[in-house]
Amino acid sequence: MQLSKSEEQLMEVIWQQGTVFMKDLIDASPDPKPASTTVATLLKRMQEKGFVGYTIFGNSRQYYALVSKDDYFSKHVRGIIKNFFGNSVAQFASFFTNAADLSKEELEDLKRVIDEQLKHKKP
């Protein structure tokens, strides 16, 4: 399941801070600040999607992530590879390296990352 752009912005704050109250999310939002009802609606949708949980403290709810940022973006990238590149990681890598117009140093860094991953893979 995927988050909307507004939901992703809230999740980014939750991932950074660990636990937040609605006031924290509103304070972290860019101007103009969203209405509390808007944030409450987004949080409710995020709960229904299984991305956030909460603990009740009196009349307030403290929200926390149920899905890690790495897990979310890993699934998101895998979906892009599947939907736009015919499930071909090589086609995705080719597109990425060409479209991003990487410098020689950046390509060498990427190669080092790949070489390091290859060391840890079993034959």
> Can you give the pTM of this predicted structure?
0.76
- The C-alpha atoms of residue 88 and residue 116 are separated, in whole angstroms, by 21
Confidence (pLDDT) at 7: 94
Q: Give dist(CA 5, CA 107) in Å, integer.
A: 30
Span 22-43, pLDDT tens digits: 999 999 998 899 999 999 999 9
In whole angstroms, give the CA distance from residue 109 to residue 6. 33
| Distances, alpha carbon 4 to alpha carbons 49, 55, 68, 73, 108, in Å | 11, 24, 16, 13, 34
Q: Which fold has domain 5-65?
A: Arc Repressor Mutant, subunit A (1.10.10)
Q: What pLDDT band is residue 55 in, cutting at 50, 70 and 90?
A: very high
User: 102 — alpha (psi -120 to 50), left (phi > 0) or beta?
Assistant: beta
CA dihedral 61, 66, 68, 73 (to 10 degrees): -100
Residue 48 has pLDDT above 90, yes or no: yes
Taking the alpha carbons at both ends of the chain, their separation in whole angstroms is 33
Average pLDDT over residues 8-20: 95
List the Cα angle 38/43/45 in 5-degree steps: 100
- Identify the pLDDT of residue 46: 96
Q: Give the tens place of pLDDT for each residue, 62-82.
A: 999 999 999 999 988 888 899
What mean pLDDT is predicted for residues 8-16?
A: 95
